[in-house]
Structure 1
């Protein structure tokens, strides 16, 4: 990757591969929190002795490491300093809203080394939307930097009247600090480095954003850097121990799962109810509805506490009124929250913004799934007002024309036109390339509604809410019957992506119908046909299912939504295939994504990648894909669930298992699988003699019965 990201809670650093931040870079590098860039320049350089980069890593997410060494220094014919004599190491991490960096020079040579180190600093306090070029509003007042012997502070009063500051503290005083660029208010702090042969010297820097409203509370440098690092590493160890433990006979597969566990942790933020997954770095490190919900569903097998925190967090922000500016209606689940200057001044509607058609039914799906995994019915009682509000929104506002289908229509002038997960402006296209006109009923959303109502009906009946259960179940069955007729193109022998405003099918072959496999809304023969097409040559690249078939007019393998491969999209489709008993097709998808993951740095699947064929070489990265990204990180665990055929039902007091191992994995041991009131440990092994898969329960403290299945979950 050309960049490096480290993050902890609400603070993250987005830098170049070499570790620096510069306003000269168009990528939008910086130190960010609360949708504001608190550091726009952070470059460390040397005079007299030139260095070059040897190593750059941020694989642990919460800390990074950079190693440089020097080039030869000569004066005429005389050696001043031999090449590779001095090692320069930069280690950095984030803890409790403070960014720490330790800079160490180690002279391994025989000559004395002496040079200056320059630390260039600036803070422009730009809103994230302005950094990315999406939106610009009125600017506030930037003050002159406050330069003290061991501190530099940048201050800004925004047009929202919020005072923001960035404080930089050095552990030793520089020789001097002064402004070297008046226009950009760049401060250069100069340190003199004297390094005899065999000696080392260390500099330490702590940088903290400050906001006057108290949302960033910790005092600067509350601990020594090593104390902070030790506590940070301890918190990661605690996290790993709380998650499912996976060990197989394929080291690369294990690395893939462990990478997901690590990446999910770095994307978690506590907004008052425990760890909640933000959508992704660097652009979307904020609460999302759809993205966070899907990530929570994907990670139920990893750690179900994420789902609980996600439900409680989103329940704090239900729509309460009709507000076209924010695409808000009562009971609707939010799409996105922003916290910066542009949101505070109402320049953008993200306070929060509600322009998503799928977050509301998915919220209900997550609730029901969480109860099936944990048996925690108390959360249903706790969130009953929000649950009933979401149900009412589906009936009253989601289905505006009362035709059983939930549709979207953009009302906000600065909102999103396409409000499903494929939310780019060109993502819903007719076969001739025309854009579909709203109101648009997406195929996957009808599946989400069906699934939500089916699951809630079972849950409500179990809780004694019989009439409510009957109403939801009846609607779900009517929706299913109508869907199976309207959402099928005979000319394609495949479902359309949507119905347009005239109720005409948008007849392009896309991946969207695969989500309806997950929801279970198809007849069995329809499901088989959908799976056949999705794993066929026009849709399956060898690395995953494309968002659009290569035969379609709008297809472009480098398009955001019209030919690329999205791991999360594939993961839900594969889970749906498994539910229909289509094991071979599900394994085809898993094997493709695993093949792709092995080609990316750290075995990390990005948000998306281009949809070029496998035969053309390694997967081609999409240039601005978020990485790490929540539902991409959630892909590996939900595919693990798919391999296991694992479907807990605390309401039935059973755990259903139907394992099928992918190629290259012949033994798989799972421990600390948290279900109901305990944990489950199993071993799955493929026989070398006949290829049969055997599953052995090693431990079961859940209080539920384990049922080994043949066939499908959807009945």
Structure 2
């Protein structure tokens, strides 16, 4: 990863590995909030020369530390500054929508030194879509800057009639600054002496209100306290499997930094750097992965999605009543209706996933009050599935792009080449995806169980009947007997799109498959065609569309694997689930911070190492949630608060001897499970169970 990113709530900073934001960088570096770049340049210099990088670390996500030193400097044969005399440590973090950047310089030269430390800053207030080159934009204009004794404020009048500003201040008086954004400090240091200056950079949207900003020490204490509180409320994992331990800890850190709150509770945004916004599908799947670790995140996610649920038929936004959004953006181009992401609803799977997460959240938490609170949203989502999702009344939910600036393929594989026939032709919409039919089945069965619990028995029975009718018709239309597998989709003419892909693997989680079909799906997914050794590919090797370097046609997505892993566990295929888990754990060793990225290339493990995909998001929410699914799968853990039962079927990976999982929130209580290998046998116990629920084994 040749960039560094930190985030807190809705503000994130993207820089190069030296901590700089060079002008016109092709990757769009900068300080962003609400899809607007509030800092487009930040270059640190010593005597006008860029320092040399020593180390660069953003492992904590919320704080980055970068260590640099000076180059050798002479002028007309006279020594100005000996090389590596000055250690320059840049420390930055974000708290309460303010970026804090401290620069500490320490003299290691044996004599006193003098030099100038300068930072050049600038702001373009560019919309995220314009930065990424996706749209030709009609934007507002800069309206000048205000220079203070220790501050610069940049002003902007948007085409959306919203005023924006960036306020930059610093805490040292011995400085000079210009309206061009140059801030310089004349530094004189004795041997061993240090000099530190701290910048505070604050974006403003709308009329500027004066704020009393925290001192850096106070801000970092509060920030760290928020992480300590997070740690106290999540499930704790301890294992002697070092790689799994690292992955779980990294996943939890990544998910914490990706949490955002739009006023309805915390929920995970999709990923950094470019998708730090609410995504229906991504946020819901990440919340589903987190249920055994922090069910409250699902609650915030559900409330957020309900608040943005579709209200009208609007082709520009691919919106229909009851539909759950795909993505929302907040920048100038959204505000002037140049893009339809306000929000945009071009997703076929977010609506059934909303219902699945609702049903599963209640199964874990017992919180039927939330279901009753969001009952109108549940009913509108069910109505959308039947009236708008099923366009032609054939029981299958299909997608078709209406918006001129929308997305053509509207499942999770949303690239333009992802739904391809075995002869290489791209499928034409309306398209019914296999996994979406499974989501609808799981959603209706789950909501039926919930409705039964709260007394809506007739409605529950009708939903079960609809789900069973879908199951029967799905098996008839999607099953490919010659391949012993399901088609990825049906095209506009109801022809099977027969390419072998990972999509039908999600059917295992739905519980929709008979045992023999579940066996066939599992066998195909673990075959050499689909399983690379590092994970299950999105498309089988040898298919016409297969490309191991592609985004969706042969790459490996951890979250896709996680859905399959959980489904394998649900069907009792734990040995196969463990094979996939072990492959992904091995792959993580090849990525920075032992982190699973959004995706990686689908090359066979025999090549010797996992191959990165060049522009994968990292951290990314549903990739971060994947190691949490590993833990749930190894425990064979499925909660059922409605019937006061907890299913457990614990096992261990090869080479793993201990797995202790504490503080699992189920119902109104907590559960702890310990799994050990002793004398070649795996034994497990329940040291704590304050739920009052019965423990059952599969």
Seen in structure 2, the aligned counterparts of structure 1 residues 211 and 50 have a Cα distance that, compared at 3 Å, is closer
1:572-611 equivalence runs, <5 A: 572-611=563-602
The alignment's TM-score, normalised by the length of structure 2, stands at 0.98
| TM-superposition CA deviations, 1:364-393 (whole Å, max 9, x none) | 000000000000000111000000000010
- Give the distance between the partners of 1:405 and 1:481, measured in 2 at CA: 11
SS in 1 for 2:554: coil
| 8 Å CA contact 2:309, 2:377 repeated in 1 | yes
| 8 Å CA contact 1:49, 1:115 repeated in 2 | no
State the partner residue of 2:481.
490
The yes-or-no answer on 1:506 pairing with 2:497 is yes
State the partner residue of 1:684.
675
Q: CA RMSD in A?
A: 1.5
Seen in structure 2, the aligned counterparts of structure 1 residues 42 and 49 have a Cα distance that, compared at 3 Å, is closer
**Offset of residue 673 of structure 1:** 0.8
SS in 2 for 1:144: strand
State the partner residue of 1:432.
423
| TM-superposition CA deviations, 1:378-432 (whole Å, max 9, x none) | 0111000000000010111111111110000111111110000001111100011
The yes-or-no answer on 1:640 pairing with 2:631 is yes
Seen in structure 2, the aligned counterparts of structure 1 residues 464 and 89 have a Cα distance that, compared at 3 Å, is same
- Give the distance between the partners of 2:552 and 2:49, measured in 1 at CA: 48
- Give the distance between the partners of 1:441 and 1:129, measured in 2 at CA: 30
**Offset of residue 178 of structure 1:** 2.3
Aligned length: 698
The yes-or-no answer on 1:707 pairing with 2:690 is no
- Give the distance between the partners of 1:81 and 1:499, measured in 2 at CA: 69
State the partner residue of 2:200.
206
| 8 Å CA contact 1:48, 1:115 repeated in 2 | no
State the partner residue of 1:32.
32
The yes-or-no answer on 1:163 pairing with 2:163 is yes
Unmatched tracts of structure 1, length 5 or more: 180-185, 710-715
State the partner residue of 2:344.
353
State the partner residue of 2:641.
650
State the partner residue of 2:20.
20
**Offset of residue 48 of structure 1:** 7.0
| 8 Å CA contact 1:325, 1:349 repeated in 2 | yes
SS in 1 for 2:181: strand
The yes-or-no answer on 1:477 pairing with 2:468 is yes
- Give the distance between the partners of 2:365 and 2:506, measured in 1 at CA: 24
Seen in structure 2, the aligned counterparts of structure 1 residues 698 and 482 have a Cα distance that, compared at 3 Å, is same
The yes-or-no answer on 1:695 pairing with 2:684 is yes
| 8 Å CA contact 1:206, 1:221 repeated in 2 | no
Seen in structure 2, the aligned counterparts of structure 1 residues 78 and 188 have a Cα distance that, compared at 3 Å, is closer
Which stretch of structure 1 is more off in the superposition, 67-76 or 300-309?
A: 67-76
State the partner residue of 2:135.
135
1:39-438 equivalence runs, <5 A: 39-47=39-47, 51-73=51-73, 81-173=81-173, 175-179=175-179, 186-212=180-206, 219=210, 222-438=213-429
- Give the distance between the partners of 1:80 and 1:193, measured in 2 at CA: 13
- Give the distance between the partners of 1:553 and 1:415, measured in 2 at CA: 27
**Offset of residue 708 of structure 1:** 2.7
**Offset of residue 81 of structure 1:** 4.6
Seen in structure 2, the aligned counterparts of structure 1 residues 174 and 623 have a Cα distance that, compared at 3 Å, is farther
Of the candidates 496, 521, 533, which is equivalent to residue 530 of structure 1? 521
**Offset of residue 136 of structure 1:** 2.4
Which stretch of structure 1 is more off in the superposition, 111-120 or 8-17?
A: 111-120
State the partner residue of 1:712.
none
- Give the distance between the partners of 2:331 and 2:130, measured in 1 at CA: 10
| TM-superposition CA deviations, 1:252-280 (whole Å, max 9, x none) | 22111011110000000111122111111
| 8 Å CA contact 1:176, 1:189 repeated in 2 | yes
| 8 Å CA contact 1:279, 1:286 repeated in 2 | yes
Seen in structure 2, the aligned counterparts of structure 1 residues 523 and 249 have a Cα distance that, compared at 3 Å, is same
**Offset of residue 493 of structure 1:** 2.1
State the partner residue of 2:434.
443
**Offset of residue 682 of structure 1:** 1.2
State the partner residue of 1:713.
none
Of the candidates 551, 555, 572, which is equivalent to residue 560 of structure 1? 551
- Give the distance between the partners of 1:272 and 1:74, measured in 2 at CA: 56
- Give the distance between the partners of 2:402 and 2:572, measured in 1 at CA: 41
**Offset of residue 149 of structure 1:** 2.0
**Offset of residue 195 of structure 1:** 1.2
- Give the distance between the partners of 2:85 and 2:341, measured in 1 at CA: 53
| 8 Å CA contact 2:670, 2:688 repeated in 1 | yes
Unmatched tracts of structure 2, length 5 or more: none
| TM-superposition CA deviations, 1:617-655 (whole Å, max 9, x none) | 221111111111111111111121111110000111011
**Offset of residue 492 of structure 1:** 2.1
**Offset of residue 18 of structure 1:** 1.1
SS in 1 for 2:696: strand
- Give the distance between the partners of 1:74 and 1:134, measured in 2 at CA: 45
**Offset of residue 109 of structure 1:** 2.6
- Give the distance between the partners of 2:74 and 2:145, measured in 1 at CA: 38
SS in 1 for 2:45: strand
Seen in structure 2, the aligned counterparts of structure 1 residues 381 and 663 have a Cα distance that, compared at 3 Å, is same
State the partner residue of 2:604.
613
| 8 Å CA contact 1:655, 1:706 repeated in 2 | yes
SS in 1 for 2:89: strand
Seen in structure 2, the aligned counterparts of structure 1 residues 75 and 126 have a Cα distance that, compared at 3 Å, is closer
| 8 Å CA contact 1:5, 1:61 repeated in 2 | yes
| TM-superposition CA deviations, 1:305-338 (whole Å, max 9, x none) | 0000101111111111111111111111111111
Seen in structure 2, the aligned counterparts of structure 1 residues 321 and 200 have a Cα distance that, compared at 3 Å, is same
The alignment's TM-score, normalised by the length of structure 1, stands at 0.96
**Offset of residue 190 of structure 1:** 1.4
- Give the distance between the partners of 1:291 and 1:591, measured in 2 at CA: 24
| 8 Å CA contact 1:98, 1:220 repeated in 2 | no
**Offset of residue 469 of structure 1:** 0.4
- Give the distance between the partners of 1:275 and 1:502, measured in 2 at CA: 42
**Offset of residue 108 of structure 1:** 2.4
SS in 1 for 2:485: coil
